[in-house]
Structure 1
Amino acid sequence: MVPSYPRARDRRVTPAARTTVLTLAATLAVTLTGCQGAALSDDDGPAAAGGPVRIGVVVPLTGPVSQVGTALRNGLELAVKKVNAEGGVHGRPVEYVVVDDAGDPANSTQLARRLVRQDKVTMLFGTITGDTAEAVGRVADEAHVPFGTAILGDTEHCFAYQWGFGESTRQMLTPTVPGLVAKYGKKVALVGSDYNYPRFYAGVAKELVKKAGGTVVAEEYSPLGQTDWQPVIGRLKSAAPDSVLSMVVGADAVTFSKQAQQFGLLTPELGYEGAPLDADFQPALGALVAGRTHTVRWSDQVDDAESRAFAKDYRDAHQWKAPIPEVAGNAYFGVKFFLAAAEKAGSGDPQAVNKAIGGLTLDSPLGKGTRFEPSNHVFQADMREVTIGRDGAYTVTRTHPMVADTTPKKGCA
């Protein structure tokens, strides 16, 4: 059965700032005819070596994680604007095409194929949830087109053409778990949205909790879109944890956190870390997260000239007063890294760009000598501990320089 698809906001930006809105269903009808699930043919291949550098952006602009998807798109747009203002890539302007996958991996697959076949993109970027990232990663490998993500965490599988600019699971949890166990106690509970990445996150967390001398006393998952968390909260509360590690994502992160406080699980004495503490959710959670610490790759309070300039541009462009979501910063600096690799490659050929990505070392606000680990395609960069203020500021209180994650994965080569 062919899945139904939402309408997409599809936008190609050129130096003339051209904007086009298309109906996704009509476009996919052409894309899917006679080739659903088929491998790419030579005629359907990616961008030519001498063409423009074009980014295909697969992102949820509707659905339960649309807020985070919009932040990713906003960061990417500012990166492209900055690179074009500085002369583009190997003398050519950068273009991008944005499509809305609504957070559905079936949509992500078909849209990624369309971007490669029809729009002839040089690279792919985006998605939010781990299952959509894996879906696009498979298309990227099939098409030999590099694909970058900006989300926190990493996929369980490695693809030769996929690169993650968000903090990996181990990079997040390596400095976090020992601190939680030491400060709050040894009993840790895990809760997450029910898809592949939160379960992968839990697997790493259990390993690090044990290493820190702690014990996992509960583990719960619920599907995206959950509105009644009381049964889950009741089971977590009955386990009497000292800390809760949460990978409940999207709008569910707010619902879960508020109900956890309402039903007596989330108290000031309980350690609380994970996705709900991301800057995306601070305006909705406010005092509930104030005073807590959180491990991130980037914060809009990073004291660096380039970071401050990006934060100002973001606030000016979107009349933004709340904390800038981490995913926006990861997307901004990630796209700049991708485009620096395209500059190094000297062409818009996707395979040449992919090779350059794997060999590039770049200084940025994310750290000195940032690069990708070849054995797992994890971005090696600094991590920060931030304290969330009552004013919403994510103030950097500690920097962990170049937190390494060299855990090997199959499929990277």
Structure 2
Amino acid sequence: MVHSPVHRPRTLVRAIGIVAACVMTASLAACGSSIGPAAEGGDSGALKVGVVVPATGVTSSAGLALQAGVEIAIETINDEGGVNGQPIEYEVEDDRGDPATTTQIANRLASDPDISLMVGTITGDTAQAAASVADAEGLPFATAILGDPSVCSDYAWSFGESIRQMLEPLVPELLEKYGTRVALVGSDYVFPRDYSAAAREIVADAGGEIVAEEYSPMGTTDFESTIGRLAAGEPDVILSMVVGADAIAFTQQAAAFGLLTPEIGFEGAPTDADYYPALTTLVEGREKAVRWTDAFDDPESQAFVEAYRERTGSDAPIPEVAANAYFAMRFIAAAANDAGVTDREGINEAIGSFSYDSPLGDGTHFDGDRNILQANIFTAMIQPGGVYEIVEDHGIIPDTGAPC
């Protein structure tokens, strides 16, 4: 059955967590762990959420965007009456992008019987650390990052686009438009290599060939040798999963050394909304597979855009992870309201059996052993000023991931 969000009479709303005390600004000022007073008072029957983000460190920009998405969603849900008539309570923990720290935080949250849901984090290795703890302790864990789930777990729910959902709409078009010779480049950790593995299959199915493949450690600032090896393959298309600040350095240097030109197809992390302010003309005119952009004109999307800009002070394109986090909380709250639950097992079962109408599509739901969200995928054209204009609606790109 398809359910719309549940609207209940407004009750006394107490948004617990970082609201006024740690407002994200355009400078993305970091904040630490925090817990609101109502969350300290024992089991009230309210839905209580542990939010894990890298509020400091090299991925703090994305972490604070995720945090803003979660907080805006919780405030909106609480304004509508909360979950089962009670406001959602939450606390935020800074894992600094460090898997060991993530594990410590996840263990603490899992040992707290009042916590019924964990949301976060950003990098694949920290998400894997959190998911492993969540699976062992029976704590539902929702991610908002792009890419495939890092572990097979009945308790891990992936609200971000999977690798195939990102690649399948665009790779055949790129090969047809630019040529069949494809170069793969990425940061040297699990997610970019998983991205490349899927890309190799999709490129081959589309009649293309991989002519170069390169990886660089996180924190690389000089990509001249990498670019030289990529150029030697004479690619027509570059699929890049170089991430973080490295993505900006790689893209700028690829253009400066003549590898990245308007005649070369280009897709991957550097075309994400996060990077537009630094790359502007280098990505304008490129196409991007997305689940949502701030160009969506439906009332809920525009209300989120307004709230996000007010909270952050930023007029840059809104990062995908912020919207994924926002709609993840909306989905989970609607599922919990529909089932009348706030306990761990109840929340977990509700997420897995729920079908939800939202700007991400009608009847969005989870499928497969890896719990991948089945929602609409769009092609967006990156316009001057950072407008990710929707040019094609692909509907649901079915992907349930490799069986566990």
TM over 0.5: yes
| Contact 2:15/2:74 (<8 A) preserved | no
Aligned residue in 2 for 1:186: 180
Q: What is the aligned counterpart of 1:137 among 108, 125, 131?
A: 131
Could you tell me how far apart the structure 2 residues matched to 1:79 and 1:226 are?
35
What whole-Å deviation, never above 9, does each CA across 1:43-87 have from its counterpart, x for those lacking one?
xxxx99863211111111122211111111111110000000001
Aligned residue in 1 for 2:6: none
Per-residue deviation at 1:17? 5.8
Could you tell me how far apart the structure 1 residues matched to 2:81 and 2:216 are?
47
Matched, 1:299 2:269: no
Q: What is the aligned counterpart of 2:52 among 51, 58, 69?
A: 58
Q: Which amino acid aligns with 1:319?
A: G
Distance 1:376 1:17, change over 3 A: closer
Could you tell me how far apart the structure 2 residues matched to 1:192 and 1:285 are?
17
Per-residue deviation at 1:155? 2.5
Per-residue deviation at 1:91? 1.4
Aligned residue in 2 for 1:14: 16
Aligned residue in 1 for 2:210: 216
> Identity rate of aligned residues, in percent?
51
Q: Which amino acid aligns with 2:167?
A: L
What is the 5 A alignment of 1:170-249? 170-249=164-243
Could you tell me how far apart the structure 2 residues matched to 1:50 and 1:222 are?
49
Could you tell me how far apart the structure 2 residues matched to 1:331 and 1:183 are?
34
Per-residue deviation at 1:391? 1.5
Q: Aligned pair count? A: 378
Could you tell me how far apart the structure 2 residues matched to 1:247 and 1:143 are?
32
What is the 5 A alignment of 1:119-138? 120-138=114-132
Aligned residue in 2 for 1:256: 250
Q: What is the aligned counterpart of 2:94 among 96, 100, 105?
A: 100
Structure 1: gaps spanning 5 or more residues: 1-11, 28-46
Per-residue deviation at 1:319? 2.0
Could you tell me how far apart the structure 2 residues matched to 1:22 and 1:67 are?
12
What whole-Å deviation, never above 9, does each CA across 1:163-192 have from its counterpart, x for those lacking one?
011100111111111111111111111111
Aligned residue in 2 for 1:110: 104
| Helix, strand or coil at the partner of 2:364 | strand
Could you tell me how far apart the structure 2 residues matched to 1:354 and 1:204 are?
29
Could you tell me how far apart the structure 1 residues matched to 2:111 and 2:224 are?
46
| Helix, strand or coil at the partner of 2:375 | strand
Structure 2: gaps spanning 5 or more residues: 1-13, 23-29, 36-40
What is the 5 A alignment of 1:279-318? 279-318=273-312
| Helix, strand or coil at the partner of 2:166 | helix
Task: Tell me the TM-score normalised to structure 1 length.
Answer: 0.87
Q: Which amino acid aligns with 1:113?
A: N
Task: Tell me the TM-score normalised to structure 2 length.
Answer: 0.89
Per-residue deviation at 1:407? 3.5
Q: CA RMSD in A?
A: 2.2
Aligned residue in 2 for 1:9: none
Per-residue deviation at 1:156? 4.3
Structure number with higher relative contact order (C-alpha < 8 Å, ≥ 6 residues apart)? 2
Matched, 1:166 2:160: yes
Could you tell me how far apart the structure 2 residues matched to 1:179 and 1:163 are?
30
